[in-house]
Copies of this chain bind each other. A is one copy, B any other.
Amino acid sequence: MSDDLSLLVSFFKALADESRLRIIGVLAAREATGGELAALLDLKPPTVTHHLAKLRELGLVARRVEGTTHHYRLVPERVEALAKQVLSSETVAATDATLDHDAYAVKVLRSFIDGETILSIPTSRRKRDVVLAWLVERLPEGQDLPELELNALIQRHHPDSAALRRELVCSGFLTRERSVYRRAAKPSDDPPQPAA
């Protein structure tokens, strides 16, 4: 589920360090031993061991042991594979599954709605829209409503039916024609740019 996300994070974390990028730069050109890398990058051997361990954890570099000297090399296939995977999920979808798209609405509703009654009408437009969306779900669909009938339905949830009726129209949740009201069609909810 969110494994995709944590792989992304690991990948970026692994490359988000100057020393490791320089190590990769060296290994991209040729194989090298730990001591060489330490001298080339002006770091102490334990430090390069530390970095190489992190890079090997992701499979970006491989080790060949020869006596007491360890030769390190880049694994270009792995680098390319990870890079490709990253780019494909970069712009979209990577995290879509891991978050609750209604979290904001839930939070707003918890503070303004109790059971079936609207405690108060939010003054903030964005929050008010959430409450209005909740309210319009409680009105009959595909059916013309005269003003008196509509007011009665709204008053089940809040006494100020006039204000709410006006807001519902103003925000586009209801349409008014020839002095009868009707629920508007829901706006499409498609993501603007689906995964490639």
Please list the residues of chain A having a beta carbon within 8 angstroms of any beta carbon in chain B: 5-6, 8-9, 12-13, 15-18, 21-22, 24-26, 28-30, 33, 35-36, 39-42, 69, 74, 76, 79-80, 83, 87, 90-96, 98-101, 103-104, 107, 126, 191-193
In this complex, which of A13, A76, A91 has the most chain B Cβ atoms within 10 angstroms of its Cβ?
A91
A22 to B98, CA, bound (A): 8
Q: Which residues of B contact A40 (CB under 8 A)?
A: 99-101, 103-104
B29, B100, B193: the one contacting A92 at CB < 8 Å is B29
| Closest-CB distance, A41 to chain B (whole angstroms) | 7
Q: Which residues of B contact A193 (CB under 8 A)?
A: 28-29
| Count of chain copies | 2
B18 touches A69 (CB 8 A): no
Q: Which residues of B contact A28 (CB under 8 A)?
A: 91-93, 193
B22, B33, B107: the one contacting A99 at CB < 8 Å is B22
B35, B83, B95: the one contacting A22 at CB < 8 Å is B95
